[in-house]
């Protein structure tokens, strides 16, 4: 039983720990005892908070003098411990970390999942800064971005390489000025001893670091007047956009999604502004702690206003962001719902896989598979196949082979099945795919889309389905089919270029 009587009533941070003593959540409060007690007395928590409470075995706390100090401390503790119940942002565009993967010859990688292992630096909300850092570290300090093969290890001086890794650590920790001073001293010494090649290398490293500092300064001090932040919550998931407004002009937007929890907006802002440029004005849809603006002002070194507008232009901007949230995150969902209705599918086809066959006069036959998730391309799961059978232009044989190869692997490896399989073609291609799935004992909704009349064939009806041209479901099917065709043709062309190159090389040898 947790003893709450020892928790003080003043401001500070509380740390929830599990049975292993691991910190699983960090929070801050104006009244620690009241806030901590609420976790165990309230019955209407959301699902994630209920799960958190079930795992709490111990509570620790750190008292601060003011709530502003508690904000600062909470930020530090979250960055240090990465508690799994604190918000984990998943920015589709820019939010990422840089990791030094440990080993005999450590290497760098960009990581969005913050998985275990290695040394993690970041997060880098600015993609520009992250790319500049990686470029300097790889080009000027010759740090690798992949694990070395045994053959390459023999060619690299291990001690010299580890010195470069230590320099990379200093850069990632922010000690750029200190490293520049050290390198300039080494450069002077090398020049005095007439080690001119080494001195030039050092000079280039110093120049690269100074350029990096300028880029960081430009990114972090650019004059962004306002950030407009709004969100939609659905199925216990928060979908949030940050709009950057400068001189009354929209400069850009950032997308985030994360699980809903108590006080999620305040926690998001704390994590986001740890590395993002802080504007003069933050416009949000609801009130948070009054002290938060003081915290931002203290962090940025100038006055920052946090505004919750009830009318006027700023309220209109919040509504604009909401419209963009729907357009950004839910446009694909609307199309998948329309497709479900048009095809009378048993469930919304959240995951779809589409196949297309491409060949040149019956040769170099290939197949593509594109994957769509929630109506949007899921390029990490695209696949391409070189057809092994001698099909001589028979698309039915090619379809049968690619379906067998794909879904025998899905069945064998226990991979998740799609909600809908789409074949580019007519009744023949559909029948070939249907027979293979039946032989594998798999029951997956299957359709084909014929180009001539854009008619849809299904496995449960002899007649085709004609979907109105303005139907969002048909438009999604067409987009998926066209993407599969593009992907197949591009792969087929790659193979053809390689074949021609091999013929040229063979001819030059004879």
279 vs 271: CA distance, rounded Å: 15
- In three-state form (DSSP H/G/I as H, E/B as E, the rest C), the secondary structure along 381-415 is HCEEEECCCCCCCCHHHHHHHHHHHHHHHHHHHCC
* Strand ranges of the sheet holding 237-246, from the earlier edge strand across to the other edge: 249-259, 237-246, 226-234, 281-283, 305-307
Q: CA separation (Å) from 278 to 220, 226, 293, 304, 406?
A: 8, 9, 11, 8, 48
For residue 441, give every residue at least 6 positions away whose Cβ sits within 8 Å of its Cβ, in sequence order, or none.
411
Q: What is the pLDDT of residue 94?
A: 43
Backbone dihedral angles phi then psi of residue 149, each to the nearest 5 degrees: -75, 160
pLDDT of residue 218: 41
pLDDT in tens, the chain (510 residues): 566 666 778 888 898 988 888 899 999 888 888 888 888 887 777 777 888 888 998 888 887 777 777 887 787 788 777 888 886 665 444 457 788 888 889 998 887 666 666 788 776 655 666 777 888 888 888 889 888 888 888 888 889 899 999 988 888 887 888 888 888 888 888 888 878 888 888 888 888 887 776 655 444 434 447 899 999 987 788 889 998 876 555 556 788 888 888 889 999 999 899 878 888 899 999 999 888 989 999 998 889 999 999 888 788 888 878 877 876 677 677 789 999 999 999 999 999 999 999 887 767 789 999 999 888 888 889 999 998 888 777 889 999 999 999 999 999 999 999 999 999 999 999 999 999 999 999 999 999 999 878 899 999 888 899 998 888 889 889 889 988 998 888 888 888 778 777 666 666 555
Token pair belonging to 501: 């190159």
Q: Round to whole Å and give the CA distance between 118 and 107.
A: 10
Rounded Cα distance between 486 and 482, Å, is 6
Task: Identify whether the C-beta of residue 395 lies closer than 8 Å to the C-beta of residue 509.
Answer: no
- The enclosing H or E element of 313 equals helix 313-329
CB–CB of 74/13 below 8 Å? yes
Strands 249-259 and 237-246: antiparallel
Calpha distance 510→501 (Å, rounded): 15
- In whole angstroms, give the CA distance from residue 358 to residue 456: 20
> Under a CB-based contact definition with an 8 Å cutoff, are residues 167 and 181 in contact?
no
Strand pairing class (12-17; 58-63): antiparallel
Name the residue with tokens 């057809």.
Answer: 387
Of 387, 325, 322, 389, residue with least CA distance to 356: 387
Backbone angles phi and psi of 447, in degrees to 5: -140, 165
- Residue 497 CB coordination number (10 Å): 10
- The pLDDT value recorded for residue 410 is 93
**Nearest alpha-carbon partner for 25 in 35, 33, 13, 17:** 17
The CA-based diameter of the chain, rounded to the nearest angstrom, is 90
Go through the domains of the chain in sequence order and give each one's CATH number. Answer: 12-81 (3.40.1440.10), 96-221 (no CATH), 226-329 (3.30.420), 343-500 (3.30.420.340)
d(CA 34, CA 42): 12
Q: Which two tokens stand for residue 497?
A: 């270029």
The predicted pLDDT at position 13 comes to 87
**223 contact partners, CB below 8 Å, separation of at least 6:** 246, 247
19 φ/ψ angles, rounded to the nearest 5 degrees: -65, -20
Q: Tell me which residue of 65, 89, 69, 70 sits closest to 15, measured CA to CA.
A: 70
pLDDT at 308: 94
Distance CA 121, CA 369 (A): 36
Instruction: Please answer whether residues 69 and 11 qualify as being in contact, where contact means their C-beta atoms are separated by less than 8 angstroms.
Output: yes
> Which residues in 413-436 are b (16+ Cβ under 10 Å) and which e?
eeeeebbbbbbbbbeebbbbbbeb
Tokens in use for 390? 């001698």
Report the candidate in 303, 267, 259 with the shortest Cα–Cα distance to residue 284: 267
Please name every residue paired with 383 in a beta bridge, in sequence order, or none if there are none: 369
- What the block records as the tokens of 21 is 């003593």
For tokens 């565009």, name the residue.
93
Q: Cα 298 to the chain's mean position, in Å?
A: 30
Alpha-carbon span 364 to 394, nearest angstrom:
12
Residue 420 CA to residue 433 CA, distance in Å, equals 13
Classify 24 as helix, strand or coil: strand
CB 267 within 8 A of CB 292: no
Phi, psi of 384 (to 5 degrees): -130, 150
Question: What was the pLDDT predicted at 324?
Answer: 76
pLDDT on residue 248: 53
User: In 6-119, where does DSSP find H-type helix?
Assistant: 32-41, 47-55, 67-81
Please tell me the predicted confidence (pLDDT) of residue 307: 92
Give bridge partners of residue 231 from the DSSP assignment: 240
- Which helix H or strand E contains 123, and what residues bound it? strand 119-124
């Amino acid at each position: 039983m947790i003893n709450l009587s020892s928790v003080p009533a003043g401001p500070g941070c509380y740390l929830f720990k599990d049975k292993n003593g691991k910190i699983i959540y960090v929070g801050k409060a104006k009244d620690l005892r009241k806030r901590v007690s609420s976790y165990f007395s309230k019955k209407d928590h959301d699902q994630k908070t209920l799960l958190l409470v079930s795992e709490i075995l111990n509570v620790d706390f750190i008292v601060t003098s003011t709530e502003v100090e508690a904000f600062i401390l909470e930020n530090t503790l979250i960055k240090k411990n990465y508690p799994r119940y604190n918000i984990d942002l998943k920015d589709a565009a820019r939010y990422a970390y840089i990791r030094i993967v440990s080993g005999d010859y450590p290497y760098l990688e960009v990581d969005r999942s913050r998985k275990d292992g290695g040394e993690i630096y970041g997060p880098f909300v600015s993609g520009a800064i992250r790319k500049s850092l990686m470029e300097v570290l790889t080009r000027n300090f010759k740090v690798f971005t992949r694990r070395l093969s045994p053959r390459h290890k023999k060619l690299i001086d291990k001690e010299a390489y580890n010195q470069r890794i230590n320099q990379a650590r200093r850069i990632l920790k922010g000690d750029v000025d200190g490293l520049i001073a050290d390198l300039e001293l080494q450069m002077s010494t090398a020049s005095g001893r007439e080690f001119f090649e080494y001195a030039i290398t050092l000079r280039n490293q110093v120049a690269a670091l100074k350029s990096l500092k300028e880029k960081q300064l430009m990114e972090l001090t650019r004059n962004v007047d306002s950030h407009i932040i709004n969100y939609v919550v659905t199925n216990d998931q928060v979908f949030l956009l940050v709009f950057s407004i400068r001189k009354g002009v929209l400069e850009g937007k950032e997308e985030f999604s994360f699980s809903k929890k108590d006080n999620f907006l305040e926690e998001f802002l704390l994590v986001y502004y740890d590395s993002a440029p802080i504007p003069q004005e933050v416009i949000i849809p609801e009130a948070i702690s009054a002290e938060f603006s003081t915290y931002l002002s203290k962090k940025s070194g100038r006055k920052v206003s946090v505004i919750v507008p009830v009318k006027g232009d700023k309220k209109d901007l919040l509504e604009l962001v909401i419209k963009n949230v729907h357009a950004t995150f839910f446009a694909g969902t609307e199309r998948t719902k329309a497709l479900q209705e048009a095809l009378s599918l048993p469930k919304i086809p959240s995951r779809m896989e589409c196949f297309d066959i491409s060949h040149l006069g019956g040769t170099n036959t290939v197949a593509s598979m594109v994957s769509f998730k929630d109506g949007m391309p899921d390029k990490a799961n695209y696949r391409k196949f070189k057809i092994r059978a001698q099909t001589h232009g028979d698309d039915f044989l090619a379809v049968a082979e690619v379906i067998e190869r794909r879904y025998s692997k899905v069945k064998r490896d226990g991979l998740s099945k799609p909600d809908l399989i789409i074949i580019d073609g007519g009744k023949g291609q559909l029948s070939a795919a249907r027979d293979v799935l039946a032989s594998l004992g798999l029951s997956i909704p299957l359709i084909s889309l014929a180009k001539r009349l854009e008619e849809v064939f299904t496995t449960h009806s002899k007649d085709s389905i004609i979907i109105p041209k303005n139907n969002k479901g048909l438009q999604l099917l067409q987009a998926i089919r066209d993407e599969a065709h593009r992907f197949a043709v591009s792969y087929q062309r790659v193979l053809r270029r390689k074949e021609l190159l091999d013929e040229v090389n063979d001819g030059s040898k004879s």
